[in-house]
A and B are shown apart, each in its own frame.
Chain A
Amino acid sequence: MNTKIWNRANALAAVAFAACSLISAGAIAQTVKLGVVLPYTGVGAEFGQQVDRGMQMFMKLNPAAFGPYKIEIIKRDSKNPSGAEAKVAVQELVAQEKVDLLTGFIYSPDAIASASLATEAKRPMVIMNAGTAWITTLSPMISRVSFSMWHAGHAMGEAAVKIVKAKTAVVGYTDFPPGKDSLDAFKRGFEANGGKVIDEIPMGGPGQVPDFTPFFQRAKDKKPDVFFVFVPAGDHAIGVMKTYGALGMRAAGIKLIGPGDITQDIKLQAMGDNAVGLITMHHYNADLANPVNKRLVEAWKKEYGPASTPDFMGVQGYDGMAAIAHVVTTLKGKIDPDAAINALRGWKYDSPRGPISIDPRTRDIVMNEYLSEIVKKDGRLYQKNIGVITAVKDMCKELGEGRCKQ
């Protein structure tokens, strides 16, 4: 047998293992090291890029935000949302690169798996997306500048009664955690304000786009005032719009509503004219009229091309950097983990999504939720603001639902 030779291969590999691991960064005084864990490749690459660009836009538009302190950004790819890849990335950022702060985290499993490391290593972790409500309860080192599915879902339930004037609703959702959270949140908000959910329809998984016709026909037969839909942005949302149009549900008097995930700005124009009239609730859309947002959108288009746009993930990256800048300047460049988390508690900021703050108790975000309707203007789809609910907290933790109980 030729085993002799491949053993040599083994030894070589071991040597390579050694050589390649010797890339290390020496510590420089008064520099704050920030470890960024995002999916830069694979299915989530588009989202990772949004957050990354949002972070860069913050640095560009606010060059003085970090004061005299230098910030060193070390990026790691979290690859697939298995949790394990992100955890290895975080482990090395902490053990080898000696980062002071951790940020990023698009997928909830990545944040959930890394939470124990943040606690053990005492590294503050600023979550820029991961939306499973109970993540912030996993570690005292976690603070979130993004959202939970309950923010938009619960606010939509309230607005569906108060602004859209609906009495009955059917809920259709993609059968995975954000979908189920969205269903629970909407139902709580809707029924607390006097509405009634008359049917709940799971509509397949997030992997493939199903044929929505049977689900939508079932919803249509129930004759609700509104049909609340949660699906992942992109192809799912486009399929929803097509089916809604094809079944003539608008003519039947059923309004289509949902959380703003389904009208993510980067996917909006691809949804076509069927999307006109869709009502969504979210903490951000690129058409918000406040001056901070106008400045961001203008700079973004200049930097990344006229067809590009920030969306809610981009703004979360922007706000995450703002939060980190606040921590760094407050602590004068010396990051003490407990002091950093305390600096984040109650932090207020004028974001492109309007006024935001961090709830001192839960370390989760408090922000406005905007109700918007899609209209067609100048040949493009546009999100027209038709209502706002201010200072919305994560209702899952406020109500102590399921795992959010603490």
Chain B
Amino acid sequence: MIAATELARRHRLRWWEALPWIASLACFFAFPNYLAFGTQVLITILFALSLDLVLGYAGIVTLGHAAFFGAGAYTVGMMAMHWGWNEPISGLIAAALVAGAIGLASGLVLLRTHGLALLMLTLCTMALLEQAANMGAAWTGGFDGMPGLSFSKILGLFGFDVLYYRSQYLYALAVLFACFAIVRTLVYSSFGQSLTGIRENLLRMHAVGAPVRVRQVLAYTVSAALAGVAGALFTQANGYVNLAVLSLERSAGVMIVLILGGYGRLYGAFVGAIAYMLLEHVLAKAYPTAWQLGLGITLIVVALFARNGVIGIFDSLRRRIERSAR
């Protein structure tokens, strides 16, 4: 009975869910000189959120999620470079469509496998795209990338700010908010519940007659489209894109972010991206040559003592307090 009311209640908005957004807006006014970094954090949150949908909710283990990030990034870049299509919001939609299409096509094939085979195949998909981008250097700019991309005003009102990243920050925040709303609705819907079911007990979901593979492919496609939007934001905010958007480093990095924050939780991407990137940024500034040591030790400590990520630490704290209160 309690569980049932809990289930019914969980999709309801709670007062504190406004806090991250208020904090993000507060950062805009408090740190006007750090908005370039802030924009990168917002983009990473969106990318990690897209990964959470497949990894955390649907239980699809992938090391190739940068394939979709890169597809979105290059879609926007190539449209601007070769067709002069500079309108940012339609660029985002195009990036979502292209990345989603690649997600659908590769998902139909890849999701027939699971475990290590799936892991390897996702990695291969990304490597194939990376090599294609390298070989098509006339189109993609290859390793040196596409320099000096410029985009027209957002909604015809706010021009991209090369030096202070003010409009990029707010733009990324607005896009993140919209995407978050989609993901939140999705995971609290019956579709989201069935994804969790697939993750927790595949055989049982088959036994109850759930269309397992269709749902997996659908989740994979939506996630790919969202990753594509993150990639498109990356290109638009930086006015630059090169092969690094398709690298294993980006795939693995976002996975670390998600695991650090706590996967399978809506706000894990937020906590992970902010914790990881802030730590990296501050350490790298203080010790430009040795910051990786500090970051590495932190990650080891979290992996050893907080299996469920940073959010998990607060979870277990709360449980302990509740137990002692009883």
Contacts and interface: CB of A to CB of B under 8 A. Distances in A.
Contacts of B32: 95
Contact of A76 (B244, B288, B315): B288
A33 to B, nearest CB: 15
A404 interface: no
Given A41-B292, A77-B288, A108 B267 contact: no
Chain A: interface residue count, which band? 35 or more
B238 A113 contact: yes
B2 to A, nearest CB: 13
A138 B145 CA distance: 13
A138 B270 contact: no
Interface stretch (B11-19, B189-197, B220-228): B11-19
Nearest to B145: A109
A11 B275 CA distance: 12
Interface stretch (B33-41, B46-54, B96-104): B33-41
Interface in B84-138: 131, 134, 137
Given A16-B278, A77-B291, A177-B143, A116 B31 contact: no
A77 B289 contact: yes
A94 B20 CA distance: 28
Contacts of A6: 262, 265, 267-268, 271, 310-311, 314-315
A109 B274 contact: no
Contacts of B286: 23
Interface stretch (A79-87, A162-170, A239-247, A253-261): A79-87
A13 B284 contact: no
Given A92-B36, A109-B244, A113-B238, A4 B16 contact: yes
A92 B314 contact: no
A406 interface: no
B191 to A, nearest CB: 19
B282 A18 contact: no
Given A40-B288, A88-B40, A13 B318 contact: no
B128 to A, nearest CB: 13
Chain B: interface residue count, which band? 35 or more
Nearest to B9: A1
B27 A40 contact: no
B36 A88 contact: yes
B249 A116 contact: no
A136 B24 CA distance: 37
A108 B30 CA distance: 33
Interface string B234-248: 100011111011010
Contacts of A121: 163
A18 B30 contact: yes
B265 A113 contact: no
A177 B146 CA distance: 13
Contacts of A175: 134
Contacts of A7: 16-17, 19-20, 267
B144 interface: yes
A331 interface: no
Interface in A1-42: 1-11, 13-14, 16-18, 20-21, 23, 40-41
Interface in B157-216: 162-165
Interface in B28-79: 30-34, 36-37, 40
A138 B242 CA distance: 16
List the 4 closest A-B pairs by CB distance, nearest first: A82-B244, A14-B23, A5-B314, A91-B36
14 contacts: A2-B315, A5-B317, A9-B310, A9-B311, A23-B286, A49-B289, A79-B284, A88-B37, A95-B34, A109-B144, A112-B242, A113-B238, A117-B162, A205-B134
Interface of B: 6, 10, 14, 16-17, 19-20, 23-24, 26-27, 30-34, 36-37, 40, 131, 134, 137, 142-145, 147-148, 162-165, 234, 238-242, 244-245, 247, 249, 262, 265-268, 270-271, 274-275, 278, 281-282, 284-286, 288-289, 291-292, 310-311, 314-315, 317-318
